[in-house]
Amino acid sequence: MTDQTPPLTHARVLRIAVPVVLSNITVPLLGLVDTGVVGQLGDAAMIGAVGLGAISMTTVFWIFGFLRMGTVGLAAQAHGAGDQAEISALLSRVLMIGVVAGVVLILLQSAIFVAIFAIAPASDAVEALARDYMAIRIWSAPAAIAIYGITGWLIAAERTGAVFVLQLWMNGLNILLSVGFVLGLGYGVDGVAAATAIAEWSGLALGLYLCRAGFSQAAWRAWPRVFDRGRLLHMAQVNTDILIRSVFLMAGFTSFIYIGSDFGDTTLASNQILMQFIHITAYGLDGFAFAAESLVGKSLGAKNRAALRRSAIMTGLWSGGVAVVMSVAFWTFGGNMIDILTTAPEVRIEARDYLFWMVLAPLVGFQAWILDGIFIGATRTRDMRNMMALSFAGYVMLCLTLIPAYGNHGLWAALLGMFILRGLSLGVRYPALERSAA
């Protein structure tokens, strides 16, 4: 059989990466519009409720974000092996997992809401409105979780342009409905929640259309294969490892915010402003990590060690190059970015004191991002889990050592140290990953 795989070129890497970056740009825009729309009503409780409700539901849904990452590696390897039947069967599996998980969340919504307000208590007014928001938004859980799987399936096929279309549709429709429901019909917080829920269900419908090639194979409904015990157990192991890894990563970022709150309101605010630089870094580097997921997975599925190495090198070079550009941009324009993000003079001054860490962040962090993509594509998730646990332990030790002596500078040094440890530890495990492609 003739190999139909296109040659691995810089243009191919960019065709995968650029739509992901463009897709990421739409994410913060949605939050900005939702906040701005509710802000026009002049009720502080409504603004707080939308913020609390949205972040709570996003966090609950993102618990199942492993479905995207796990699906990329498994589907990419099936593509590399030329196993079209498994590609279609995998699509059915992830859709069913998404729907079942979403239904479970709907059934457990009362307990979930109690837990959320126990962790993040708010005023009676904000809590009541946030509960109304979440009571509507929870009904889109099956769609939101299934879309994670669809996104991973499309990335594995190098169809990131379709991912961009999907995100653009959902976020664009969400914005239009939010404006119409809130400012046009006066639905308030309920209108924002309904807009998001409708957008997510419509996104699932569009996602199924974009994945229609997967349904052209009869294997998508070959239930003995779809429910094959060995494949389901392997998928469960991969996704469990990714979930544990993500919990450690989230614990690092969450503890960073909590520890920073001990340094006073001004420092806490400056850390929040500077954390946007980290988000920008992630948005910029995600595209090349996603490219690595797809390309490495296909190379491993084809048992092509040379292609795997070339995939890792090329995506790593692009990621490193973009990291340098970001670092220079933060050094040159970081002060202006801070001024745009806040008008408080004391926060501007404080944030500038720590801007140096933002300049370093892309340079010391891109290895962790790209290696995450490489290991996800290879489904070497046990290594990811273990190295993340090791890196988190190192972060804790750095916090205990550096914060007493250097305060908030020590906190930032510890966070970047966690990035470095992730990159180094995964780098040590990379040779074993490459040998597995023999």
Query: Per residue in 412-432, pLDDT tens?
Result: 999 999 999 999 999 999 999
> Does residue 4 carry a pLDDT above 60?
no
Token pair of 436 as six digits: 């597995």
Check residues 5 and 359 and name the one with the higher pLDDT.
359
Round to whole Å and give the CA distance between 425 and 237: 21
pLDDT at residue 32, rounded to an integer: 60
Confidence grade of residue 1 (pLDDT, cut at 50, 70, 90): very low
> Does residue 86 carry a pLDDT above 70?
yes
pLDDT at residue 29, rounded to an integer: 64
> Does residue 433 carry a pLDDT above 70?
yes
pLDDT at residue 42, rounded to an integer: 64
> Does residue 396 carry a pLDDT above 50?
yes
Token pair of 431 as six digits: 């040779």
CA distances in angstroms from 256 to 271, 393, 399, listed in the order given:
9, 14, 9
> Does residue 172 carry a pLDDT above 70?
yes
> Does residue 15 carry a pLDDT above 70?
yes
Confidence grade of residue 337 (pLDDT, cut at 50, 70, 90): confident
pLDDT at residue 279, rounded to an integer: 84
Q: What is the dihedral sign for C-alpha 161, 167, 170, 175?
A: negative
> Does residue 408 carry a pLDDT above 80?
yes
Task: Determine the straight-line distance between the first and last CA of the chain, rounded to whole angstroms.
Answer: 20
CB 150 within 8 A of CB 94: yes
pLDDT at residue 348, rounded to an integer: 87
Three-class SS string for the chain? CCCCCCCCCHHHHHHHHHHHHHHHHHHHHHHHHHHHHHHCCCCHHHHHHHHHHHHHHHHHHHCCCHHHHHHHHHHHHHHHHCCHHHHHHHHHHHHHHHHHHHHHHHHCHHHHHHHHHHHCCCCHHHHHHHHHHHHHHHHHHHHHHHHHHHHHHHHHCCCHHHHHHHHHHHHHHHHHHHHHHHHHCCCHHHHHHHHHHHHHHHHHHHHHHHCHHHHHCHHHHCHHHHCCHHHHHHHHHHHHHHHHHHHHHHHHHHHHHHHHHHHCHHHHHHHHHHHHHHHHHHHHHHHHHHHHHHHHHHHHHCCCHHHHHHHHHHHHHHHHHHHHHHHHHHHHHHHHHHHHHCCCHHHHHHHHHCHHHHHHHHHHHHHHHHHHHHHHHCCCHHHHHHHHHHHHHHHHHHHHHHHHHHCHHHHHHHHHHHHHHHHHHHHHHHHHHHHCCC
Confidence grade of residue 3 (pLDDT, cut at 50, 70, 90): very low
In this prediction, residues 347-370 reach a mean pLDDT of: 93
The domains of the chain are located at 10-227, 242-438
pLDDT at residue 203, rounded to an integer: 95
- Locus of tokens 């914060």: 403
Global pTM value: 0.88
CB 30 within 8 A of CB 174: yes
In this prediction, residues 343-362 reach a mean pLDDT of: 90
pLDDT at residue 2, rounded to an integer: 39
pLDDT at residue 107, rounded to an integer: 96
Q: What is the dihedral sign for C-alpha 289, 290, 291, 293?
A: positive
| pLDDT, averaged across the chain | 89
> Does residue 239 carry a pLDDT above 80?
yes
